[in-house]
Amino acid sequence: MDGYDAVATSTRVSDLRRNYLSFMDTLAQSIANIAPTLTPTLNITLVAANAGMGTWFVYLLTTVGLVLVGMNISVFARRFAASGSMYTYVTRGLGATAGFLSGWGLLAAYLFTAMATLVAFAVYVNQILAYFGTKAPSILLYAVGGVAIWYLSYKDIKFSSMLALFLEFVSVSLIAAMGFIVLAGTGFHIDTAQFSLQGVTLSGLNLAMVLAVFSFVGFESATALGKESRNPFRTIPRAVIMSTIVVGLFFALMSYIEVVGFGSPSALTNSEAPMNDLAAKYHVGWFALLIDLGASISFFSCALASTNAASRIMYAMGRDKIFHESIGRAHLRNQTPHNAVTVCSIMNFLVPTLMVGIKPMDAYGYLGTSATYGFLLAYILISIATTVYLVREGQLKLYHALLSAGGVLVMMVPLIGSFYPVPSFPYNMFPYLFLLYLFVGIIWFRRVASQNPASLKQVAMDFDANEEIIFSRK
């Protein structure tokens, strides 16, 4: 099927808008889903607790590893453009069941990410309100944020993507400005202890990399816009790789700056709000309000990007009749997956609301950790699928096999780290709950296939008819 340069025809009256999104629009999706502001404000302290002076190095190493995964994704992104993201790609390489597992895992990953960042959005909005001596109920903020995300996703993917990129740009600019203030306050000196990796151990780097990978999840989400992008075979791979490199360099730089600013990794690790503490330490305490504003913006844009990605995977599965057919319909005027967006938005609101009895940042941790397993599963499957697909097509080169092996090995580090050493309760339960989720998904998938025997074969062998994939000659 790779020899066609056409879009498969369809009798459906509505579909996603074709040839609509520019390179910047697709890049915006991946960057907003990574939410680069969150790492300097939250995640770096966790990595520094294990990597110490090597925190910046861990982020560079992780960037290289995820570029390998991104290059595996690009093998498919250069050949197929679809709304199903890695659900489509893995199916092409490994068949219907593995493809379903990839889509099922990614759906949970994007939804849990949206839920987690909606919770954190409410937390940071309340921190901003606290400066003015007031506070809003969390449920109210979930509702306001959730409705805004639903409306933006429902109306126009281009507008919502560019808004997410703009909001993230504002937020990252505030973080970068604070970084410059720190460097100026320390005299722009070179920290030789960091560059020599003083006191860094191999075991510490291993554990730190587990946490560092979590900072990047969602970098591949531009692949969900394949049907809506202009020149997708060029645009999507560039967006996936460029977002990883640009954001990874930003993480490494901010890691270096934060260690310099606090004077030691241990001082950084003991900070619950590192950017706010740096603002106070370097006599710009008023900057903390701007940082909190930037963080709330970043959480919102991440929730928006995650909802866009989740709805398109759900839409693709609706097209394949894994979900009800209505989920696979697009809005006649807006040409967005409006039913899938609505379902995702309802779930984004309901789950955090049901967790109101849990401390907000604990809820953020639980939801964020749950999301990670879906991403890891998809990253491992896509890395394996690359070699299998290229062997079958007679196109495998040595560097393809090395990319595939490298992607699997890198992702096995955080996967193994999720089971051993055994995390504390309740985090030790999450891997097994995710396995239960996969088991339930397989039962559902087999039930659908048994009711419509042709559907299983169609999902595995005829995606061009179901998913209306655009094929490239590459």
**3-class DSSP string for 194-263:** HHCCCCCCHHHHHHHHHHHHHCCCCCCHHHHHCCCECCHHHHHHHHHHHHHHHHHHHHHHHHHHHHHHHC
Query: Would you state the pLDDT for residue 71?
Result: 95
Q: What is the dihedral of CA 226, 324, 15, 85, to 10 degrees?
A: 0
pLDDT (tens digit, 9 = 90+) per residue, 88-132?
899 989 988 999 999 999 999 999 999 999 999 999 999 999 999
Which band of pLDDT confidence, cut at 50, 70 and 90, is reported for residue 278? Answer: very high
The dihedral of CA 39, 40, 41, 46: what is its sign? positive
Let me know: does 182 contact 257? Beta carbons within 8 Å. yes
442 has pLDDT over 90: yes
- Segment 181-192 mean pLDDT: 93
Cβ within 8 Å of residue 20, ≥6 positions away: 157, 158, 228, 229, 230, 335
Q: Count other Cβ atoms within 10 Å, centred on residue 266.
A: 12
For the ranges 57-61, 235-239, 344-348, 412-416, the lowest mean pLDDT is seen at 412-416
Residue type, 405: A
Q: Is the pLDDT of residue 10 over 70?
A: no
* pLDDT at position 6: 33
The pLDDT of residue 9 is 33
Angle at Cα 294 formed by Cα 49 and Cα 145, nearest 5°?
Answer: 105
pLDDT of 372 reads 87
pLDDT in tens, 307-324: 999 999 999 888 888 888
Mean pLDDT for the chain overall: 86
Span 407-430, average pLDDT: 85
Q: How confident is the model at residue 159 (pLDDT cuts 50, 70, 90)?
A: confident
Task: Report phi then psi at 269, rounded to 5.
Answer: -60, -35
The pLDDT value given to residue 467: 43
**What pLDDT sits at residue 350?**
97
% of the chain at pLDDT higher than 70: 92
